[in-house]
C-alpha cells in the first residue's frame, strides 16, 4: 500500500452510530470539504436505493450545529429526492481542523477525492506538507489548481516536489522558472517543475539560481522544453513515456543547459 501524503491524527471523542438526522438541519463547511459536484449528486438521486444509502458522517460542534464531513453528495441527492432524514455517524466536539482530518481519514483509500481537494482539506486540517506548500505558493503570489499566469495546475507535481525534496527546493524551483521564462502557464508545467526540482535537489548547492535561469532561457522557451522532454521520453519506448520519465528527461536537459560552455572540471554529472 502506498504511503499516504498526509498525517491523520484525531483526539478521543464521542461517536454515535445510526442516528436519524433531519437533512435540512445539516450544514456544509467548504473549507473542510471537497466542492459539490451537482451532476454527481443528481446521478446518485436518479439511481437511488434508499436502503443502500448507508450512513453519512456528521460532526456536531460545541454550538450544536451539525456539519456533513463525508456524504455531501448523498445528502444533496436526498434533498433532490425530497427525503427529510438520513442516517448518520455523528462525531461530537471536533473543531473545523479536526473535521478536515476526519474527512481525510474517511477518504484515505478513496479514488473519488481529487489531489486538489485533498490538498485544500489538508490545509484546513493543518497538515504540515500542505501548510508548507501554501506558504511557498503565497510567497510567489501563486494559486494552485488551475493553469494560468498566476496559478499552477500541476498539483501533484508541486506536492511531490515539497515531499520528496523540500519546501525550500519548491521555492527555488519556482524562482528559477519564473526568472527564466516569466509568469506564464507554460512556465508552471509539471514536467518542467519536476525536472528543475530534481536538478536543484541533487545539485542545488553547486549552482547559482540566477545563472541557471539565464542558461535555461538560452536553450529555449518553456514550451520548447516541455516538447523536447516529451519527445525524448517517447523515443525511449512506450513504457518510458510516463510523468517520471518526462521529468527525468527535463532534468537531463537542465544538466546540459548548466554544463554548456563550462570546462570539464566544472561540469555537473548526471
- Tell me the average pLDDT across 171-180: 98
What pLDDT is recorded for position 106?
A: 82
What pLDDT digit, counting tens, does each position of 100-143 carry?
A: 888 888 877 555 667 888 898 889 988 899 999 999 999 999 99
Task: Assess whether 80 and 162 both reside in one domain.
Answer: no
Task: Assess whether 160 and 252 both reside in one domain.
Answer: yes
Determine, yes or no, domain membership for 62: yes
Domain holding 213, by residue range, is 153-264
Task: Assess whether 258 and 160 both reside in one domain.
Answer: yes
Question: Is pLDDT of 242 > 60?
Answer: no
- Tell me the average pLDDT across 57-72: 93
Task: Assess whether 181 and 241 both reside in one domain.
Answer: yes
Q: Of 67-71, 169-173, 197-201, which range is least confident?
A: 67-71
Determine, yes or no, domain membership for 7: no
Name the domain boundary from 35, 69, 102. Answer: 102
- Tell me the average pLDDT across 12-37: 89
Name the domain boundary from 68, 83, 102. Answer: 102
Determine, yes or no, domain membership for 6: no
Task: Assess whether 158 and 257 both reside in one domain.
Answer: yes
Task: Assess whether 90 and 158 both reside in one domain.
Answer: no
Determine, yes or no, domain membership for 258: yes
Alpha carbons 72 and 36: distance in angstroms, whole number:
7
Q: Of 8-22, 138-152, 163-177, which range is least confident?
A: 8-22
Task: Assess whether 161 and 59 both reside in one domain.
Answer: no
pLDDT above 70: percentage of residues in the chain: 91
Task: Assess whether 86 and 187 both reside in one domain.
Answer: no
Q: Is residue 226 within 8 Å of residue 186, measured between CB atoms?
A: yes
Determine, yes or no, domain membership for 23: yes
Determine, yes or no, domain membership for 117: no
Determine, yes or no, domain membership for 22: yes
Question: Is pLDDT of 64 > 80?
Answer: yes
Q: Of 30-34, 44-48, 143-147, 254-258, which range is least confident?
A: 30-34
pLDDT above 90: percentage of residues in the chain: 63
Residue burial 166-189, b: 16+ Cβ < 10 Å; e: rest: bbebbbbbbbbbbbbbeebebbbb
Task: Assess whether 161 and 256 both reside in one domain.
Answer: yes
**CATH number (domain holding residue 36):** 3.90.1530.10
On average, the pLDDT of the chain sits at 89
What pLDDT is recorded for position 3?
A: 46
Q: Of 121-130, 177-186, 251-260, which range is least confident?
A: 121-130
Alpha carbons 41 and 250: distance in angstroms, whole number:
41
What pLDDT is recorded for position 78?
A: 94
Question: Is pLDDT of 254 > 90?
Answer: yes
What pLDDT is recorded for position 6?
A: 54
Q: Is residue 251 within 8 Å of residue 195, measured between CB atoms?
A: yes
Determine, yes or no, domain membership for 237: yes
This prediction's pTM: 0.67
Alpha carbons 247 and 26: distance in angstroms, whole number:
45
Task: Assess whether 172 and 237 both reside in one domain.
Answer: yes
What pLDDT is recorded for position 237?
A: 46
Rg (C-alpha) for the chain, rounded Å, is 23
Give the count of domains, the chain. Answer: 2
Task: Assess whether 161 and 249 both reside in one domain.
Answer: yes
Alpha carbons 257 and 260: distance in angstroms, whole number:
5
Amino acid at each position: 500500500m502506498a504511503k499516504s501524503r498526509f498525517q491523520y491524527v484525531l483526539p478521543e471523542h464521542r461517536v454515535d452510530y445510526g442516528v436519524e438526522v433531519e437533512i435540512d438541519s445539516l450544514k456544509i463547511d467548504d473549507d473542510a470539504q471537497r466542492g459539490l459536484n451537482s451532476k454527481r449528486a443528481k446521478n446518485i438521486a436518479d439511481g437511488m436505493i434508499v436502503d443502500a444509502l448507508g450512513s453519512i458522517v456528521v460532526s456536531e460542534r460545541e454550538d450544536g450545529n451539525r456539519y456533513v464531513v463525508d456524504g455531501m453528495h448523498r445528502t444533496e441527492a436526498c434533498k433532490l429526492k425530497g427525503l427529510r432524514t438520513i442516517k448518520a455517524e455523528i462525531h461530537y466536539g471536533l473543531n473545523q481542523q479536526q473535521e478536515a482530518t476526519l474527512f481525510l481519514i474517511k477518504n484515505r483509500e478513496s479514488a473519488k477525492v481529487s489531489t486538489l481537494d485533498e490538498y485544500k482539506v489538508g490545509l484546513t486540517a493543518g497538515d504540515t506538507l500542505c501548510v508548507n506548500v501554501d506558504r511557498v505558493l503565497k510567497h510567489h503570489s501563486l494559486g494552485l489548481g488551475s493553469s494560468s499566469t498566476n496559478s499552477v495546475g500541476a498539483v501533484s507535481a508541486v506536492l511531490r516536489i515539497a515531499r520528496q525534496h523540500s519546501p525550500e527546493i519548491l521555492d527555488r524551483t519556482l524562482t528559477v522558472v519564473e526568472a527564466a521564462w516569466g509568469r506564464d502557464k507554460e512556465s508552471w508545467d509539471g514536467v518542467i517543475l519536476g525536472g528543475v526540482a530534481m536538478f536543484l535537489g541533487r545539485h542545488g548547492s553547486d549552482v547559482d539560481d540566477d545563472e541557471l535561469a539565464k542558461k535555461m532561457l538560452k536553450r529555449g522557451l518553456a514550451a520548447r522544453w516541455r516538447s523536447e522532454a516529451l519527445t525524448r521520453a517517447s523515443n525511449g519506448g512506450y513504457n518510458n513515456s510516463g510523468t517520471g520519465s518526462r521529468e527525468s528527461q527535463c532534468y537531463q536537459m537542465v544538466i546540459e543547459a548548466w554544463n554548456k560552455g563550462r570546462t570539464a572540471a566544472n561540469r555537473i554529472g548526471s
